[in-house]
Structure formats: structure tokens, C-alpha cells
Amino acid sequence: MSRRKKQKTIRVGSGLVPLGGADYKADYQARVKAAGLDATDAEIDAMDIDTFRLDLARRIAMFINEWPGCPEAICQRMRGCMAPDIHCTNVPRRSEEESAALWPQTLVTIRRALDKAIARRKAAGVWPDD
């Protein structure tokens, strides 16, 4: 008997949508637009670095989308995480000590993900040669 991986789904509208599907991506884009985070390249270039970082952090929180059961009215209305204060209300915040203890492992994880992405692009021939 084989076990099949059950694909994660999220409720969008009145139905369940696979997390990697086109409907989920369209829903994310609609939430980004509603949040006012759909800046053009020219607007991004004119942005100061702190504003860019805050927008990026909010977009990441919205992409993770931990909204089911969220007490925030805007998240319920948009049927997805809007991360109004950059952090999702459903996810408990880490203390400074926990964050400091997890930071070295986080750096390793990020570096490995970057190395994999660079390797994939080099293999595809879309990475500029050094």
C-alpha cells in the first residue's frame, strides 16, 4: 500500500484551493494589491531601504498565509493573511532570546536555499558567469 502525499489546501472563497495552484497565486496577488504593496519598479527604486524592508517582511507574512481563525477583521474579509502589523496575529511571536538562539540556524538555512537557487539557475544557463 502506498502513501500519497496530501497536498496542502487553503480555503479561498467558498472552496479549498491547493497552495501551489493558480487560484492561490491569484488570491495572493489580490491581497498584495489590496494592501497597497504592488509597487512598480520605479516606485521600488525611489523607496528608502527601511520602507522596502517593511514591505518585504509584510509580503512574506502574507505569502505564508496562516490566517484561518484569525481575529483580524481585514484578514477575514480578504480571506487571507493581510499581516496588518507585519506579523500574523495567529502565529505567536518569538522572544528576543529565542530569535537570537535561532539566528545562526536561520542563516545556514537561508544560505543553503540561496546556493540551491543559484545552482538551479546555473544549470539552466540563466546565471551570469563570473
Do residue 66 and residue 38 come from a single domain?
yes
Q: Alpha-carbon distance 107 to 27, whole Å? A: 30
Which string of b and e fits 38-66 if b means at least 16 CB within 10 Å? eeeeeeeeeeeeeeeeebeebbebbeebb
pLDDT beyond 80 at 109: yes
Do residue 61 and residue 22 come from a single domain?
yes
In a domain, 4, yes or no: no
Give pLDDT tens digits for 24-34. Answer: 666 788 888 88
Do residue 82 and residue 126 come from a single domain?
no
Do residue 84 and residue 50 come from a single domain?
yes
Q: Which domain holds residue 52?
A: 9-93
Residues 14/63, Cβ–Cβ less than 8 Å: no
In a domain, 100, yes or no: yes
Count how many residues are written for the chain.
130
Do residue 99 and residue 76 come from a single domain?
no
CB atoms within 10 A of CB 88: 21
Do residue 83 and residue 114 come from a single domain?
no
Q: Give pTM, 2 decimals.
A: 0.54
Give pLDDT tens digits for 83-102. Answer: 787 777 777 888 899 989 99
Average pLDDT for 35-60: 83
Structural domain count, the chain? 2
Residues 55/39, Cβ–Cβ less than 8 Å: yes
Do residue 111 and residue 67 come from a single domain?
no
